[in-house]
C-alpha cells in the first residue's frame, strides 16, 4: 500500500509545520502567504491534495466551488470584498511551486495592469 501524496501544504494542514490559520473547515484551510505579493495575500488550500487544477476530477466540483466561496468570504472578512483577485497557478511554467492545488487571494489598495500576472 503506497503512502498518501504528501506536500508542504499537507504538513501545514496536519500541523506538522507552523502557519497562521485564518479559517478552516472540513474541506479547506486558509493561511497567510509567507511571501506576500499584495497587502492581503491569503492561500485557500483544500485538505484533499489535488496536484493541479487540471488534475481535479468531476467528483471534485463541489470542493472547487467551496474553495471559491471561501475565497469570497475571506475577502469580505478582510475588508477587501470590493477589489481582489483569485489566482490559481497550474503547473511549473505557470508559476506553481507547491503541487497541491491552492487559490491565492490577493488584494491591494489598487491593482495596476502590470499586476495582472500576479502569482
For residue 66, indicate whether it is catalytic: no
Q: Are strands 85-87 and 21-24 parallel, antiparallel or unpaired?
A: unpaired
Q: Which of 41, 100, 102, 104 is catalytic?
A: 102
CA–CA dist 13, 104 (Å, integer): 16
Q: Reduced to 3 states, what is the DSSP secondary structure of residue 113?
A: helix
- Hey, what's the cell of 2? 503506497
Name the strands in the sheet holding 40-46, side by side, starting at the edge strand that comes first in the sequence.
21-24, 28-32, 40-46, 103-107, 85-87
State how far the alpha carbon of 18 is from the alpha carbons of 31, 38, 75, 93, in Å: 10, 21, 23, 28
Active site residues: 102
Amino acid at each position: 500500500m503506497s503512502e498518501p501524496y504528501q506536500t508542504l501544504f499537507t504538513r501545514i494542514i496536519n500541523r506538522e509545520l507552523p502557519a497562521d490559520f485564518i479559517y478552516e473547515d472540513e474541506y479547506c484551510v486558509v493561511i497567510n502567504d509567507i511571501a506576500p505579493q499584495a497587502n492581503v495575500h491569503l492561500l485557500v488550500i483544500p485538505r484533499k491534495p489535488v496536484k493541479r487544477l487540471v488534475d481535479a476530477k468531476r467528483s471534485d466540483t463541489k470542493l472547487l466551488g467551496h474553495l471559491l466561496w471561501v475565497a469570497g468570504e475571506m475577502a469580505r472578512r478582510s475588508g477587501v470584498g470590493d477589489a481582489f483577485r483569485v489566482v490559481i497557478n497550474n503547473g511549473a511554467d505557470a508559476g506553481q511551486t507547491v503541487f497541491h492545488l491552492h487559490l491565492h487571494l490577493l488584494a491591494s489598495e489598487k491593482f495596476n495592469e502590470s499586476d495582472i500576472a500576479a502569482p
